[in-house]
Amino acid sequence: MFELYAGAITKRHKEDLEKLLKWLEIIPFTNEIAQRSAEIYKELKLNNQLIEFRDIFIGATALEMKFPIITLNEAHFKRIKGIKIYNRNNL
């Protein structure tokens, strides 16, 4: 949600986001997702491949919920083992 709100710069973007949010289910940040995030963080740090913490949270949520990720930033998410990634431009 943070990245969606942060990216909604113009009034039009904010209006479009509000329309989109009516169709989305908000997934709570559970203890399981927090633990998975910490595991991912430690593994990436150990391998000198850290990514932004927000992407770690998104990746951990996707893994816990067994969801794919749709992104333009495949390079970051490829570092997290087990995630199915789709490039938004290829859909």
Find out whether 69 and 62 touch, Cβ atoms under 8 Å.
Answer: yes
pLDDT in tens, 61-73: 999 999 999 998 8
pLDDT of residue 6: 87
For residue range 10-51, list pLDDT tens digits in order.
Answer: 999 999 999 988 998 889 999 999 999 999 999 999 999 999
Provide the percentage of residues in the chain whose pLDDT is more than 90: 70
CATH architecture designation of domain 2-90: 3-Layer(aba) Sandwich (3.40)
Q: Where are the domains positioned within the chain?
A: 2-90
Consecutive H or E run containing 69: strand 69-71
Nearest to 43 by CA among 60, 29, 27, 19: 60
